[in-house]
Structure 1
């Protein structure tokens, strides 16, 4: 890891810690800056370091981060109106679609046994999570079910990059996708099923890790001979 990468990581950790502290102290007015700054910092970092990626991969990644930023901002106001949660959900849905397109462009067309096992495991997990919260979804059952399908698709396509990108890139992106699922699972359980202790720390902590891993995983594929599909 280069000095610039280490410097960014330290700065990123500081930003995330400040946001976690503001959430813990319920300083929501400060979170209007600290929460969006998490993805904004990643967008700047990726914008500078990712210029050598294939154009479509670069653009769709930036687009995915942009919709993540919009979603982060909208969810800051979800306690004011259900509409903010709905639009925030839609924004992250578009973010997952963006990441999915990127992963598909880097996919390995040979689907291994491991890929099938992981895919089946993810689908099974998604069904179990949906079954857990379905009674409390009410009017949000369709939007949430669509969202679950989208994030599972994102994770499935992330693990189908094996053999077509560097090992480092593959592992980082796959872990990032898993952390994204963990973050959203905690959020869903806390919002629709039962209150989760320290939910803010768990949701934002795993979310920040997921975005960092995905972005750095894609940057790690720069030196790989990736063919656009």
Structure 2
């Protein structure tokens, strides 16, 4: 099993550009009232750095590990979603929603269906249902259905990420923990977006949304790089 110290030493330096880009975003804190290609670039820059983070492990690594390729593809669609959301007040919110829906499908595929862990799925299903029922009275038009589909997709992604985390088993890995925490933070970020957009203003919503979002994407990207651990777990399960 890989220790956290080993993970930090091996992967930490590759994440330095991501941390710097995230700091740039929060320091500049460009107003959302004046969307521009520059503000889109600044918002997407940390995600671009996560592309580089995965690519830094080499094309041979990506060719050998389908899960890492799927996470990279998910990050690409995430950046497109971020760009669309810059212009959400101009009617591009649903476009961003679609890009992130594709992202969650890719992440779910990367995390796989083993182990199934039905109990975790039932808990996530219940939480997703309660979340949608809370949002439902505030939704209108196509969003009534679009948000339902999106909640189902991100809930499914969270299930697949959390299903593999077993603290009491020798199948536990840092890869699984990273995916689990990343998915949880992604759900928090997106739920905050939904409540703030459709229900009522959330205090410091933008800071909460972006901090949890960037942390989620970093953890999910990090979950792709210890594929040897993941493959060993898969062999044990089979």
TM-score calculated relative to the size of structure 2: 0.83
Aligned to 2:3: none
Residue of structure 2 aligned with 1:20, choices 26, 32, 37? 26
Aligned to 1:61: 71
- CA deviation map 1:91-138 (0-9, x unaligned): 000000001111116x225x3xxx61x322222221221122112210
Distance 2:66 2:184 in 1: 24
Gaps of 5+ in 1: none
SS in 2 for 1:225: helix
Residue of structure 1 aligned with 2:98, choices 90, 94, 98? 90
Which of structure 1's runs of 4+ aligned residues deviate more than 6 A? Answer: none
Distance 2:147 2:96 in 1: 12
Give how far 1:145 is off. Answer: 0.3
Residue of structure 2 aligned with 1:40, choices 30, 35, 48? 48
Aligned to 2:222: 216
1:123 equivalent to 2:130? Answer: no
TM-score calculated relative to the size of structure 1: 0.86
Count of equivalent residues: 221
Residue of structure 2 aligned with 1:174, choices 177, 180, 203? 180
Distance 1:60 1:137 in 2: 32
Alignment CA distance shift 1:23-1:165 (3 Å): farther
Distance 1:154 1:147 in 2: 11
Give how far 1:200 is off. Answer: 0.8
Distance 1:24 1:196 in 2: 19
Distance 1:98 1:57 in 2: 9
SS in 2 for 1:138: coil
Give how far 1:223 is off. Answer: 4.7
Give how far 1:44 is off. Answer: 1.1
> What is the correspondence of 1:148-159 to structure 2 with a 5 Å cutoff?
148-159=151-162
Distance 2:95 2:35 in 1: 19
Gaps of 5+ in 2: 1-6
